Chains A and B, each alone.
Chain A
Amino acid sequence: MTSPTKAEGSGPSAALDPELDSNTEPAEAAKLEGRSPGQLMWQRFKRDRTGVVSACVVIFFFVIAALAPVISALYGKDPYTLYAQEPDYPFLLDDFAMPTGSLGGISGDFWFGVEPKLGRDVFTMLLYGMRTSLFMAVVVTVFSVLTGVVIGMVSGYFGGKVDYWLGRITDFFLAFPQQLFFIAFMPVVTALFVSPTDETPTYLRAMAIILVMWFLGWMGMARLVRSSVLSLREREFVEAAKVSGASPARIVRKEILPNIVTPILVQGTYMLPSSILSIAFLSYVGVGFVEPTPDWGRMFAIGSEIYEQDPAFMFFPGVAMVIFVLTFNLLGDSVRDAFDPKTGR
């Protein structure tokens, strides 16, 4: 938990504590070098080498995912073309439709090899697959975090009956067997939008995945926010704000929210990789994205069919995912440590 300094500074009680506040008294700040909790956190984070490296790797993943079209244009291939049928590459696949050459057909033309059977380029498939997964995971995480924060805030701040019923609803959703729910409801939610006889467009599939995952994604955050708000609600600076006549909206926004940003941020960093894994799982099982949408999880589905003959295919998507999840978790730990140096590892 960060100190309530920042909230006090922006709240009505700022005048009580002038030397801690660098924003309103710039002249004094130059002498005393007062730092906001954010600045302190940034300084601690910069010193944590693991954290900085992980942050760089995570940013690298996001950048190559965002630049996938540019990279694949420079590289000269795309994830849809069946290169085995192109006249330019006559001997890409052998008679058993497996890549010729060692290690899944890695060559100067195909950096990460060739997909068995269809002869697509693994490198661009992975790039675009990551793009799909990261985009979906970010959307799901943002939605879940927002929902969780709102519900947690309401039940923590208002308490009483509201808290009781929101708590029961949260418990109810927690009782759902999550993965079974995802599997069982993906087709149902898709069928709500499209008649079963029609082809489902990709954006509708994406929407259905987001809906289903959002639906069961917010409870952890809601509980966390609720408990943080509960402990803050009784603190002096909140009571001072109440006494001075601030509206509940203002208290929530200006007094409480700045003080719970830390746990929300940390929890959010842990949520993102787990939603990537859940989305990948859906496609892996066959209820998420389908051909020909490039997707990280679907590469594992393809890989698991042919790993006996061509284990190299799964290598790059798998290693990329392990590195991504690992660095993201390390980043989450570093962010937590930077905000709250008391939790030693």
Chain B
Amino acid sequence: MLQFLIRRLSGAVVIMFLIGAFTFFLFYSIPQDFAELACGKNCSPENIAVIRENLGLDKPITTQFWEFMTGIVTGRDFPQGHCSAPCLGVSFDSDQFVWDSIKDRFPLTLSLTVGGLVIFLLFGLGTGLLAAWKRGTVVDKLVSGSSMVLSSFQIYFLGPIVLSILVYNTGWLDFPKYVDFTENPAKWFMGMLIPWAVMATIFTAQYTRMARSTMIEQLQEEHVRTARAKGMRQAYVFFRYAWRGSLIPIVTIIGMDLSALLSGAVVTEFTFDLAGIGRLAVDGSLSKDLPLTMGVMLFGAFFILILNIIVDLAYAYIDPRVRLA
């Protein structure tokens, strides 16, 4: 277990380093002076020189890269003050520490992803199981058909539809707004309800189809047939035998979908005008703000890698054949 964690975490560190290097050097291949960008319009050469020194742009690129990467572990000192341990540099544009901006925006994205994940797992697996249980009946046809149609929807199309029904026409809910969980859990929940629902609908539809088909496959397995043949109760066979087996492919797919989940959260942010990590990435990239983009990319990759490790742990828990070593 510990060995597994160490190995996976060190792998994650290597991947993060490579992603950082990739982002950094790609940015520096743009024929553009970052100091000029940071300075804005009508900038005197002296000002540009000062900014270049402040941002450390006068040093060789490899030195800058090294300072950036070591800064994540040890922290760095800037003219703006000390930037403590996970230091992702100072934004060229806003002069703020990138880590602070990410820390501000991340709770929203985290709420979206984790809340969405919980909702679509509950509903998606639930309806999938129901469809498999009632296979061939009207319920099955209804669930399969509607999930097929709903999985073809897009967040940016479904979002406005839901908003215009629930917010503008009936006034049942307020326009989604993020309130911090620690501040007011009830408001946090109500504010995130529409984004969660919209984001989860599309994923739910996909997972319904998947849960149904893996379940049906499992029900045709020989050990399930044997269990039935010896007269076990239908529900027991269904949940103890088939369900356990069909969890394995589902968890594998969840692991592969984590990146899509983060993407879904980003699209949801834009649809509902919420200021999260995705918005930060767009701001950073449109203003060619290297540290900000680096920070967001590294953080996003880190988030996915961590979730991946958690999924692998869950995998070992579900499937006793998988041993973590």
Contact = CB atoms under 8 A, between A and B. Distances in A.
Interface residues of A, number: 44
B296 A184 contact: yes
A280 interface: yes
Given A183-B282, A281-B267, A287-B285, A304 B156 contact: yes
A180 B278 contact: yes
A175 B153 CA distance: 26
B19 A176 contact: yes
Label chain A's interface by main secondary structure: helix
Contact of A308 (B161, B164, B286): B164
A326 B266 contact: no
A196 B151 contact: no
Given A179-B263, A196-B288, A308-B168, A300 B157 contact: yes
A163 B192 CA distance: 45
B15 interface: yes
A176 B19 CA distance: 7
A191 B151 CA distance: 36
Contacts of A185: 26, 285
Interface stretch (B82-90, B240-248, B301-309): B301-309
B3 interface: no
B256 to A, nearest CB: 8
Interface stretch (B28-36, B49-57, B116-124, B179-187): B28-36
Interface in A288-345: 300, 303-304, 307-308, 311, 314, 318, 321-323, 325-326, 329-330, 344-345
Contact of B300 (A177, A186, A192, A326): A177
A314 B163 CA distance: 13
Contacts of A176: 19, 259, 297, 301
A242 to B, nearest CB: 33
Which of B26, B157, B271 has the largest number of chain A CB atoms within 10 A? B157
A38 interface: no
A89 interface: no
A311 B297 contact: no
A191 B282 CA distance: 15
B30 A304 contact: no
Contact of A177 (B29, B153, B213, B303): B303
Interface string A261-283: 00000000000000001001100
Nearest to A301: B156
B250 interface: no
Contacts of A277: 154
Which of A172, A285, A300, A311 has the largest number of chain B CB atoms within 10 A? A285
Contacts, number: 130
Contacts of A157: none
Given A304-B156, A322-B152, A187 B285 contact: yes
Nearest to A278: B263
Interface string B187-214: 0000000000000000000000000010
A287 B154 contact: no
A180 B297 contact: yes
A284 B288 contact: no
A196 B270 contact: no
B313 interface: no
Contact of B154 (A191, A280, A307): A280
A323 B153 CA distance: 9
Nearest to B31: A195
A266 B270 CA distance: 32
B285 to A, nearest CB: 4
Contacts of B227: none
Contacts of A308: 164, 168
A330 B145 CA distance: 11
A300 B297 CA distance: 26
B168 A322 contact: no
B30 to A, nearest CB: 5
B108 interface: no
A188 B157 contact: no
A81 interface: no
A221 B268 CA distance: 27
B311 interface: no
B259 A304 contact: no
Given A286-B282, A304-B271, A329-B148, A180 B262 contact: yes
A36 to B, nearest CB: 29
Nearest to A303: B160
A183 B269 CA distance: 13
A300 B15 contact: no
A313 to B, nearest CB: 10
Interface in A224-275: none
A306 to B, nearest CB: 10
Given A177-B262, A179-B278, A184 B149 contact: no
B154 A179 contact: no
Nearest to A323: B152
Given A179-B263, A180-B262, A277-B154, A284 B284 contact: no
B260 interface: yes
A181 interface: yes
B253 interface: no
B229 to A, nearest CB: 22
Q: Ordered nearest first, which 10 A-B pairs have the shortest CB separation?
A: A177-B300, A179-B263, A326-B152, A318-B157, A325-B152, A307-B160, A184-B285, A191-B30, A180-B300, A183-B281
Interface of A: 171-172, 174-181, 183-188, 191-192, 195-196, 277, 280-281, 284-287, 300, 303-304, 307-308, 311, 314, 318, 321-323, 325-326, 329-330, 344-345
Given A179-B262, A179-B266, A183-B266, 9 more contacts: A172-B19, A175-B15, A175-B305, A177-B297, A180-B263, A285-B278, A286-B286, A314-B157, A318-B157
26 contacts: A172-B19, A174-B259, A177-B297, A178-B263, A180-B266, A180-B278, A184-B285, A184-B293, A188-B288, A191-B30, A191-B31, A191-B288, A195-B31, A195-B32, A196-B288, A286-B286, A287-B286, A303-B160, A307-B163, A308-B164, A314-B160, A321-B154, A321-B157, A322-B154, A325-B152, A329-B151
